[in-house]
Structure 1
Amino acid sequence: MAFSADELRVLRRALATALNPAPLQDEDVQDCLRLAEAVDDAVREAGRLRAFLLADLARYREALPGTLPGYLELLQDALAAGYDPAADDLAALRALRANPRAAALLERCQVLAERSVRARLVRATRAVAPAPRTRLLALPGGRSAADEPKPATPKPPVPSKPPAPKPSEVFPPRRRPVPPPPPEERVAG
């Protein structure tokens, strides 16, 4: 991103104001707002350009090997813009490694992909690792007995139900079936 001479003057005034706070004139505020809007526009445009480049790269990758020169050039441009090669890129370059440019680009992409995976693993382990415990220290001038609040009258304990029901409550005991009467008693009479 490049700034014009006027934008640099506005940026310099904004930084000076941030370091030494002072009231700003209305014109300076408007200049800062215009500069912020221009920077936001440039960031949005860079995002759109990146999305277009990645979509174009995917189209070229799908049309390989016929688009080899264009694909290699687009991939180099994407890498220069900070793109981390995807698994599809590595697979395509492996299939094309007979081409010396593709082989050299494959080595570069493998290094970048490995670096990216390692960085993600480090971030993941930092997010999972618990923070170190700090020791609690007593500070001088703590509460005295006179500062402590008076205890409230205790309420009688409320009987609470256990959090989990007993198995006999969930699964009532089975009743054994009553055996049928002996055949002699079954005779209707």
Structure 2
Amino acid sequence: MAFSADELRVLRRALATALNPAPLPDDDVQDCLRLADSVDEAVREAGRLRAFLLADLVRYRQALPGSLAGYLELLQNALAAGYDPQADDLAALRALRGNPAAAALLARCQVLAERSVRARLARVAQAQARTPLVPAPAPRVRLLALPGGRAAADDQGQGPRPPAPAKPAAPGPKAPAPGRPAPKPSEVFPPRRPVPPPPPEERAAG
């Protein structure tokens, strides 16, 4: 990204203001806003150009080996723009290693690919190091019996108290045997027999 002379002056004033905050005139504020818009547009344009470059690179790679010269040139331009060579690029260059330019570019791409993998692994390790570990659950606390009650009796050597014996229920009237009629009251309580009168001799003597 290149800046014109006027844009560089605006950028210098913006940096000076960031280091030593001070009120800016309205014209300087407008110049900073225009410069920010220009930078944003340049970033968007660079993204569009990069997308077109990578699309052309894929088309030339699919047309190999007939498109060898164009593919090598596009790959070099992509690498200069910060492109990380992919597995398809390494495979294509290995197939073309008989060409000296392809062999040299393969060695360069292998170094860049290895560097990219190490950078990704380092970012993953840093992210994992920043992630807080989940604490292990605390061990269960053993419950202790409160003083008194059955636990206290056990501690004094008395042992648990046996349960109180249950009182037997009073026997009720016996039920009649099955198939036998219930007895009549006269059978249960027979009538009393009359007492015979004393002999006549005993009455005369009295």
Shorter-chain TM-score above 0.5: yes
- Distance in 2 (alpha carbons) for counterparts of 1:111 and 1:55: 23
* TM-score for the superposition, normalised by structure 1: 0.68
- 1:2-81 mapped onto 2 (5 Å cutoff): 2-81=2-81
- Give 4+ residue runs of structure 1 displaced > 4 Å after superposition: 130-133
Q: What do you get for the CA RMSD once the two structures are aligned? A: 1.5
Alignment of 1:121-136 (within 5 A): 121-130=121-130
Q: Which amino acid letter does the alignment assign opposite residue 82 of structure 1? A: G
Which is greater in Rg?
Answer: 2
C-alpha spacing 1:130/1:42, structure 2 compared with 1 (3 Å): closer
Partner AA of 1:94 in structure 2: R
Where 2:114 maps in the other structure, the secondary structure is helix
Structure 2 residue 123 is matched with structure 1 residue 110: no
Residues in 1 aligned to 2:84 and 2:36: alpha-carbon distance in whole angstroms? 29
Consecutive unaligned residues of structure 1, counting only runs of 5 or more, are 134-189
1:36-55 Cα deviation digits (max 9, x unpaired): 00000101001001111000
Q: Percent identity?
A: 83
Higher relative contact order (CA 8 A, sep 6+): 1
CA distances 1:52-98 after superposition (whole Å, capped 9, x unpaired): 10000000000000000000010011111111000000010011111
Extract unaligned runs of 5+ from structure 2.
Answer: 134-206
Q: Aligned-pair distance for 1:129?
A: 2.2
In structure 2, relative to structure 1, the CA distance for the partners of 1:20 and 1:118 (3 Å cut) is: same
Aligned residue for 1:95? 95
Equivalents in 2 of 1:130, 1:11: separation in Å? Answer: 36
- The alignment of Structure 1 onto Structure 2 pairs a total of residues equal to 133
Query: 1:20 Cα shift?
Result: 1.4
